[in-house]
C-alpha cells in the first residue's frame, strides 16, 4: 500500500467520524471536531484496517494531528 493509498483511506474514515463531507490532509483533527471518542474510533480503525498494533508502535499524540502526518508515520511503520 502506498502512502497516498493510506492517506485516502484515512481521509475517508476521518470524514465519516467527523461527519464532514471533506477534510483537508493538513487540517488539525481537533479543529475539525474530532473528540476523544473520535480518536478512539480512529485508533481502532487503524488497527483493524492496517493490521497494525498501535500499542507498541511508538506513535504518540503528535502523530495524530493531521491525516498527512498520520499517513506518513503509518507508511513508515508499515514498510
Overall domain count for the chain = 1
> Which CATH number fits the domain that encloses residue 41?
1.10.1200.10
Find the domain containing 52 and state its range.
3-78
pLDDT over 80 (residue 54): no
Mean pLDDT to the nearest integer, 17-25: 95
Q: Is the pTM of this model over 0.95?
A: no
| Residue 44 confidence (pLDDT) | 92
| Residue 3 confidence (pLDDT) | 96
Q: Which residue has the cell 497516498?
A: 4
* The CA-based dihedral angle spanning residues 36, 38, 39, 42, taken in that order and rounded to the nearest 10 degrees: 160
What percentage of residues in the chain have a pLDDT greater than 70? 97
Residue 76: other Cβ atoms inside 10 A = 10
Distance CA 45, CA 24 (A): 19
Amino acid at each position: 500500500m502506498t502512502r497516498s493509498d493510506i492517506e485516502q483511506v484515512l481521509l475517508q474514515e476521518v470524514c465519516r467520524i467527523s461527519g464532514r463531507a471533506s477534510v483537508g490532509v493538513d487540517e488539525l483533527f481537533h479543529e475539525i471536531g474530532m473528540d476523544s471518542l473520535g480518536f478512539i474510533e480512529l485508533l481502532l480503525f487503524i488497527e483493524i484496517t492496517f493490521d497494525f498494533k498501535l500499542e507498541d508502535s511508538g506513535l504518540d499524540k503528535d502523530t495524530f494531528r493531521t491525516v498527512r502526518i498520520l499517513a506518513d508515520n503509518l507508511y513508515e511503520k508499515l514498510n
